[in-house]
Every structure is written in structure tokens, then in C-alpha cells.
């Protein structure tokens, strides 16, 4: 049963965001459907293997303690636009019973087994989105049996074989009714409530942010199950809907060019990545202080007021022989562009060159620069703490700079200072950022029972397509 819940959990996540925005789409193929439903198929087998048939007492024949066992059949799975998920099976099953027969002359009793042949079952369930959560929509089940073949041994058994055939239809109909009732009860009393409790919002960064994949709409075709998802990242304590510089693009439910015969695809928009940048920037979480000791002592240029006075001459006059630091903070207006084989983020930032006053335990501003930082990175999928994450690696970083304000008089030789900054960016900022990004930074819809395998990444105009096969752990 866990597997069908996992199937649902991959698509639907509960929270309070806007239902109008679709930042991500999750789709499950016909092939992927089979793996998720194996566990539920076992549940159906268990139900049919232990059906208790009511006693029959008619014309001197009493059949009692009847129950089914030894289910023998395979399942097939399918999708349809009107019935949603469908399971069907042609199967055989055995029926054990006790009997007592008395017609005035003959009085016999015992127990024997019967073979129920030509039996068929079908189960269907439609999944719907309801305020960001999944609910079970229309469900249906049908169990039918065509022929009850008695096989009691002995003389009395032969008599019972003849008599029981008279009740063939009655017993078969009763078995079908009970089977249908039990399967629907399992769907509505267990699966339905369990789905309503699923909450796969992903807290990240020590519970600061929440990645939300609220469901907007669920659709079925004969080939796919698809869920359009919110797919944003907000401050957990103050979940403002991020505007994003770009609106979410129109994304297809399935991209046939990304891998072949895959179980699942996740389309993730540039808007989703922008929402994370917006949230972290607004909270002041995208900043870094670069201390003087990141520069090797063997370097001819040190981060102190003496050496930096080459760029701001008044530094060594106002603050002689003092260490300095760089304070980099990303601005709010950040743009993410996804194109051919790369993701590009434009990160306008403020860089402050600051004096470290150890004597007075204070930081003094020297001058401020506006950096137009552009980074390009590739993405991959990694597993961490039983959750699948989108990981990244910065491949290239470039920037331009201009002076905003100086607190120490004129700033000269700005191009030379930019060259020094470029060395620090390549040697310090990018490696530190990659340590975080390589390990996974954005959770993907998944659960502890699901592992994405053989993932393929497709870079499309304004969105990523992540195609994978699935490994299910019951």
C-alpha cells in the first residue's frame, strides 16, 4: 500500500500558496505506473484471498465457513482520461467450505474445495487536487465470476458436487459483491484518509525556507498521469508569494526527446529558481564576507589599508596599517535564464570594501561597488537524506563593476581593482558556492520510498526537464 501513496506523494504537496501559478509539472508514464502499483496489487490479492462468504441454507443443504484462498492471476495497469488509474486481472481462485446435507434419507457432511474459474476484476480511481492536497475522486471496482467448479471427493462429495452446482450463480454473485465492497472499502477508508495527510513541503536551510509543490490540477490521458504544481520557494515563517522576474513558461506534460521509456518526468521552470533567489535575497541570506586571510601571505598584494590605498589613496592616511574585508550581498532583482545546456543567473550585487577596526571592534565602510555578476552552471540530480535534490556546479562567472559611493575620497585604477576581485571570485567565492550546490540545493518531488535512477536533464527555453526511472523501496 505504501507504493500507491508514494505514487501520489510524488505529485502533490500540501501548503498555502497560490493555486494559479504552475512552476513545475510532474508526469508519470504508463511504464512508471506499474512499479508504483505493485504494492496495492498485493493488497487486492490479500483481500480476495480471504473473503468470507455468508452461509447458504436452502433445500436441506447448508454451506458454511466459506472463504477464498489461493489467488492466481496477473494484473495489468492502464490510464484513461475518464477513469484515471485502472487495474484489471483475469484470475482463478479457490473456495473452501463446510457442508451439511439432509433430505430425510441422506445425511452427510464434510468440507471440500472448489475452483472459481473465469473470474475477472477491475479497479479504477481518479485522483483530484483539493486546496493543494490530493484527494481520492471517483472510485469503482468490479469482481465477477463465471463458473464455480466443485471438486469434492468420495461418494458424498459427488452428491454435493451435483447439488452445489444449483447454487453456482448465487455463490459467484455473492463473491463478486463481497470482493467489490472490500476493495472499495480499502480505497476509501485507508488510501483516501492517508492521502489527505500527505505533506511533502520541503524545509531547507535549517528550516528557514519551504519548497512548495502544491497541486493545481491533475490530468489523465491514456499515456500519462500529470500534476501541475506550484513549485516555489518561500520563507517558512513569512511565506510571501515571490513575484519572479519572468512568468512561469508554458511547459509540456512530457518531452519525448529526454531519454527513452522513462518512468517519470519533472519540468521545473526558471520562475521556480527565481522564487528561491527572491526569498533568500529578501531575507539577506545571499551574502558573504571575505576576510583578509583568504589571500595567501605570500601574495604581493594583501587586503589591508596600505595595499588597497593604490585604489583609494586616503585609506592609509585615515586608517593606517589596518586589515580590510570584502562584504558581498546579492540584490533583490535576480534573473534566471535557462537555455541550451546551461542555467544562467544574473545577480546584481553590492560589494563593500570595509576596514576592520580590531581596536574598537567595529567595521568601517571604505567604498561600495555595484557588481553585475553573471554565473553559468550545469545541473544534476543527487540523493540526500532519502530525498532527491537538484544539484548544480558553477562553470563560469563574469562581472562588471561600477562605483556607487566612496567614504574615503576618490577611487582610482578601478579596472585593476576589478582584476583583483576576479581572482578572489575564482579562488574563493565559486569554490565555496560549489561546495553547497554540488550537494543539492533544491528538493524535487520525491519520498523516502522512491529513488530517481538514470536521470536525464534537458535544458529548454525557460525550464528544465528531469527524466528518470524509479526504484521503489516498499
**pLDDT at residue number 1:** 38
User: In the chain, pLDDT over 90 holds for what percent of residues?
Assistant: 31
Q: Would the pLDDT of 4 be above 70?
A: no
Residues sharing a CB contact under 8 Å with residue 370, sequence separation 6 or more, in sequence order: 348, 349, 350, 351, 401, 402, 403, 404
More confident residue, 269 or 244: 269
373-394: average pLDDT: 89
Cell of 31: 511504464
Q: Please report the pLDDT score of residue 419 as a whole number.
A: 87
pLDDT at position 79 over 50: yes
At residue 18 the predicted structure's pLDDT band, cuts being 50, 70 and 90, is very low
The predicted model gives 412-419 an average pLDDT of 87
Contact 451, 473 (CB under 8 A): yes
Distance CA 315, CA 324 (A): 10
C-alpha–C-alpha distance, residues 470 and 443, integer Å:
16
What is the reported pLDDT for 376? 94
CB 51 within 8 A of CB 67: yes
- Residue partners of 38: CB distance under 8 A and separation at least 6: 3, 472
Q: Examine the pLDDT at 449 and tell me if it is beyond 70.
A: no
What pLDDT, in 10s, does the model give residues 341-373? 889 999 999 999 999 999 999 999 999 999 999
pTM: 0.81
Which runs of consecutive H residues, i.e. helices, occur in 75-221?
Answer: 154-164, 168-186, 192-196
Amino acid at each position: 500500500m505504501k507504493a500507491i501513496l508514494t505514487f501520489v506523494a510524488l505529485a502533490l504537496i500540501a501548503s498555502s500558496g497560490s493555486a494559479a501559478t504552475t512552476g513545475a509539472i510532474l508526469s508519470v508514464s504508463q511504464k512508471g505506473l506499474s512499479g508504483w502499483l505493485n504494492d496495492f496489487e498485493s493488497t487486492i490479492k490479500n483481500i480476495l484471498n480471504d473473503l468470507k462468504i455468508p452461509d447458504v441454507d436452502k433445500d436441506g443443504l447448508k454451506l458454511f465457513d466459506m472463504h477464498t484462498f489461493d489467488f492466481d492471476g496477473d494484473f495489468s495497469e492502464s490510464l484513461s482520461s475518464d477513469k484515471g488509474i485502472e487495474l484489471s486481472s483475469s484470475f482463478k481462485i479457490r473456495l473452501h467450505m463446510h457442508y451439511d446435507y439432509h433430505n430425510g434419507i441422506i445425511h452427510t457432511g464434510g468440507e471440500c474445495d472448489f475452483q472459481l474459474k473465469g473470474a475477472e476484476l477491475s479497479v479504477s480511481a481518479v485522483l483530484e487536487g483539493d486546496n493543494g492536497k490530493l484527494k481520492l475522486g471517483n472510485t469503482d471496482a468490479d469482481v465477477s465470476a463465471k463458473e464455480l467448479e466443485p471438486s469434492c471427493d468420495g461418494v458424498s462429495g459427488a452428491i454435493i458436487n451435483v447439488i452445489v452446482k444449483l447454487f453456482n450463480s448465487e455463490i459467484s454473485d455473492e463473491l463478486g459483491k463481497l470482493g467489490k465492497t472490500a476493495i472499495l472499502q480499502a480505497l476509501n477508508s485507508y488510501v483516501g484518509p492517508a492521502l489527505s495527510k500527505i505533506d511533502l513541503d520541503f524545509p531547507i536551510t535549517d528550516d528557514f525556507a519551504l519548497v512548495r509543490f502544491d497541486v493545481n490540477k491533475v490530468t489523465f490521458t491514456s499515456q500519462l498521469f500529470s500534476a501541475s504544481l506550484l513549485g516555489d520557494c518561500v520563507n517558512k515563517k513569512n511565506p510571501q508569494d515571490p513575484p519572479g522576474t519572468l512568468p512561469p513558461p508554458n511547459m509540456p506534460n512530457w518531452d519525448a526527446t529526454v531519454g527513452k521509456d522513462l518512468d517519470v518526468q519533472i519540468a521545473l521552470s526558471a520562475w521556480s529558481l527565481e522564487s528561491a533567489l527572491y526569498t533568500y535575497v529578501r531575507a539577506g541570506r545571499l551574502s558573504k564576507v571575505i576576510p583578509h586571510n583568504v589571500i595567501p601571505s605570500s601574495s604581493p598584494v594583501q587586503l589591508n589599508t596600505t595595499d588597497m590605498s593604490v585604489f583609494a589613496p586616503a585609506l592609509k592616511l585615515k586608517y593606517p596599517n589596518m586589515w580590510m574585508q570584502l562584504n558581498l550581498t546579492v540584490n533583490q532583482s535576480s534573473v534566471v535564464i535557462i537555455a541550451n545546456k546551461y542555467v544562467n543567473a544574473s545577480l546584481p550585487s553590492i560589494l563593500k570594501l570595509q576596514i576592520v577596526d580590531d581596536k574598537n571592534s567595529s567595521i568601517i565602510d571604505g567604498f561600495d561597488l555595484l557588481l553585475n555578476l553573471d554565473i553559468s552552471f550545469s545541473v544534476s540530480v543527487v540523493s540526500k537524506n532519502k530525498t532527491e535534490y537538484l544539484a548544480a556546479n558553477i562553470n563560469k562567472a563574469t562581472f562588471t563593476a561600477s562605483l556607487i559611493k566612496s567614504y574615503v575620497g576618490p577611487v582610482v585604477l578601478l579596472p585593476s581593482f576589478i582584476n583583483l576581485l576576479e581572482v578572489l571570485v575564482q579562488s574563493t567565492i565559486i569554490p565555496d558556492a560549489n561546495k553547497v550546490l554540488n550537494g543539492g540545493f533544491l528538493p524535487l518531488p520525491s519520498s523516502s520510498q522512491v529513488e530517481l535512477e538514470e536521470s536525464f536533464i534537458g535544458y529548454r527555453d525557460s525550464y528544465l526537464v528531469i527524466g528518470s526511472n524509479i526504484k521503489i523501496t516498499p
